[in-house]
């Protein structure tokens, strides 16, 4: 079984703790290798980078990844003493102010890499010695935390205009995705009914904000089969969408005035008047059928008003991604899928994940990954903003890592689906991502619903 199969099968049900521990061990090695690859080519100056409101120094981030694994697997689950006595004062993200992270006496490159190696190796030893549910839970928590950070490393490199990371030992980008069909944006109609929003208790692992599936009534709605494309968004830009006050709510317009721009953050016109998009350190032409990306929730909302559309709620998004329909598609059956295509793990012909093609692809690609309703790419390619504020589900109880969700409720907006840089083992239809509505650095786009 190769690394991608291991990663994809990690959370399958009906597996003994010992069997899952073996897969988890391989995934831990894979994740740490990705962390090493993400920073291997950076100079010492680039490891620190320059201060921005949405990045951290790479040197701090990789130290934080090692600290988190040590904190939860070695110290919390197994009562070990700290490997480095001052690590808590340097790398605890809940206690170390963001703006101070460039001036801390951080470990140097070699020492930080050694910290990453030590925490990985000691965690693997504990997993081999004690493949019980407690150890496995915290190994998975640290693993998925690392996966989130390695995705963040990719858009940090974009923010800072660094080169694209050289992943998989420098493997070249695949020439093209699996063939898709010519697919114009259209709506599919979803019936209303009772739907169980959230993760089922049979999952081997779920984040606290997914817990647990609970019945909720969904009204009928119509949703686009594809994400909004660069071509569609360009019309909004060229029709003066960024300057039209009526398209922005008060909070969005205040953001727009503080961040004066007439186009997405990584777009510009060349000397011939052609639009370009910065892809890491290169300026490339727009690709009409690729999804719009690196837009904030405010920008997505303004586009929707321009197009006389709206963002889906996260309930509607999860229904469109996972709800099984009756044969005549007139009602919800009450069954839901773990992934849009079914309960089997992601494969390369179903979803664009794992950095397989180094950047997004056409919104028409991957028809094998369509949801029961016929929505395409609800997993992979780009994260999708929803209209929903990030809130706890009924009966929410914070997990051991209490800072993961609870501090961010009521202040952030929910994204769903994953991006081309998200690891496949991290995702399922119930996963909730969440960012402030002004963030533009995330690999995020959106799809829209009809206004009724």
- Dump pLDDT digits (tens) for 416-436: 999 999 999 999 999 999 999
Phi then psi for 215, rounded to 5 degrees? -75, 140
CA-nearest of 412, 396, 356 to 379 is: 356
CATH of domain 3-170: 1.20.120.450
What pLDDT shows up at residue 167? 74
Token pair of 221 as six digits: 């709605």
Residues 6 or more apart whose Cβ sits within 8 Å of residue 356: 174, 348, 420
452 touches 390 (CB < 8 A)? no
Q: Which two tokens stand for residue 378?
A: 């609800």
Q: Residue 3: its pLDDT value, please?
A: 45
Residue 180: per-residue pLDDT: 54
Q: Is 50 exceeded by the pLDDT of residue 176?
A: yes
pLDDT, residue 63, reads: 98
Chain centroid offset of residue 247 CA: 27
For the segment 5-63, what is each residue's pLDDT rounded down to a tens digit?
Answer: 444 567 666 777 788 888 999 999 999 999 999 999 999 999 999 999 999 999 999 99
Question: Is 177's pLDDT higher than 70?
Answer: no
**What percent of the chain clears pLDDT 70, i.e. is strictly above it?**
94
Closest CA to 400 of 137, 176, 11: 137
Query: Are the CB atoms for 244 and 299 separated by under 8 Å?
Result: no
Q: What is the pLDDT of residue 9?
A: 64
Summarize pLDDT for 83-111 with one digit per residue, the tens. 998 999 999 999 999 999 999 999 999 99
CATH 1.20.120.450 in the chain is located at: 3-170
Domain range 173-452, CATH class = alpha beta
Mean pLDDT computed over 228-238:
98
Q: What is the mean pLDDT of residues 167-194?
A: 69
Residue 446 dihedral angles phi and psi, to the nearest 5°: -170, 160
Q: What number is the average pLDDT over the span 117-125?
A: 98
Q: How confident is the model at residue 171 (pLDDT cuts 50, 70, 90)?
A: very low
pTM of the shown model: 0.95
Question: What pLDDT score was predicted for residue 179?
Answer: 56
State how far the Cα of 131 lies from the Cα of 123, in Å rounded to an integer: 11
Residue 108's contacts (CB-CB under 8 Å, 6 or more residues apart) are none
pLDDT digits (tens, 9 = 90+) for 264-296: 999 999 999 999 999 999 999 999 999 999 999
- In this prediction, residue 256 carries a pLDDT of 96
pLDDT at 413 over 80: yes
Average pLDDT over residues 312-332: 97
Residue 332, pLDDT above cutoff 50:
yes
CA 238 to each of CA 235, 249, 291, 303, 406: distance values in angstroms, whole numbers, following the listed order: 5, 20, 17, 12, 40
User: What pLDDT shows up at residue 358?
Assistant: 81
Q: Is 51 left (phi over 0), alpha (psi -120 to 50) or beta?
A: beta
β-partners of residue 229 are 291
Contact present, 442 and 435 (Cβ < 8 Å): yes
Average pLDDT, the chain: 93
Tokens of 392: 């706890």
Is the predicted pLDDT of residue 260 greater than 90, yes or no?
no
CATH 3.90.1580.10 maps onto the chain at 173-452
Q: What percent of the chain has pLDDT over 90?
A: 87
pLDDT at residue 166 in the model: 82
Query: What's the half-sphere exposure (Cβ side, CA atoms, 13 Å) at 402?
Result: 1
């Amino acid at each position: 079984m190769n690394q991608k199969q291991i990663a994809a099968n990690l959370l399958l049900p009906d597996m003994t703790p010992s069997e899952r521990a073996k897969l988890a061990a391989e995934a831990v090695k894979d994740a740490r290798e990705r962390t090493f690859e993400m920073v291997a080519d950076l100079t010492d100056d680039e490891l620190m980078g320059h201060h921005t409101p949405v990045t951290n120094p790479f040197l701090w981030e990789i130290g934080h990844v090692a600290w988190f694994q040590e904190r939860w697997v070695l110290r919390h689950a197994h009562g070990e003493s700290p490997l480095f006595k001052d690590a808590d004062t340097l790398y605890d993200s809940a206690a170390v102010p963001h703006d101070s992270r460039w001036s801390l006496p951080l470990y140097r490159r070699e020492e930080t890499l050694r910290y990453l190696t030590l925490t990985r190796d000691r965690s693997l030893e504990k997993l081999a010695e004690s493949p019980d549910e407690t150890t496995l839970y915290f190994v998975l928590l640290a693993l998925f935390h690392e996966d989130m950070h390695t995705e963040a490393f990719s858009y940090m490199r974009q923010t800072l205009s660094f080169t694209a990371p050289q992943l998989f030992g420098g493997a070249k980008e695949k020439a093209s995705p699996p063939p898709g069909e010519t697919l114009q944006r259209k709506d599919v109609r979803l019936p209303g009914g009772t739907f169980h929003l959230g993760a089922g208790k049979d999952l081997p692992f779920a984040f606290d904000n997914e817990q647990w599936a609970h019945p909720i009534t969904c009204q009928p709605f119509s949703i686009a089969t594809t994400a909004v494309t660069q071509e569609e968004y360009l019309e909004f830009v060229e029709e003066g969408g960024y300057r039209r006050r009526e398209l922005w709510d008060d909070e969005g317009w205040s953001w727009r005035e503080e961040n004066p721009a007439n186009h997405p953050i990584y777009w510009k016109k060349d000397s011939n008047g052609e639009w370009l998009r910065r892809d890491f350190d290169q300026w490339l032409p727009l690709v009409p059928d690729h999804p719009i990306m690196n837009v904030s929730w405010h920008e997505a909302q303004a586009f929707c008003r321009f197009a006389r559309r709206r963002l889906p709620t996260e309930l509607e998004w999860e229904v469109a991604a996972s709800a099984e329909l009756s044969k005549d598609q007139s009602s919800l059956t009450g069954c839901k899928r773990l992934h849009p295509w079914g309960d089997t793990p992601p494969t390369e012909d179903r979803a664009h994940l794992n950095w397989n093609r180094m950047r997004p692809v056409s919104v028409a690609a991957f028809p094998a990954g369509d949801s029961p309703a016929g929505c395409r790419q609800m997993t992979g390619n780009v994260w999708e903003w929803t209209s929903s504020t990030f809130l706890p589900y009924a009966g929410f109880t914070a997990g051991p890592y209490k800072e993961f969700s609870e501090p961010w409720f009521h202040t952030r907006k929910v994204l769903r689906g994953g991006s081309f840089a998200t690891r496949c083992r991290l995702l399922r239809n119930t996963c909730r991502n969440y960012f402030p509505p002004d963030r533009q650095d995330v690999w995020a786009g959106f799809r829209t619903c009809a206004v009724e």
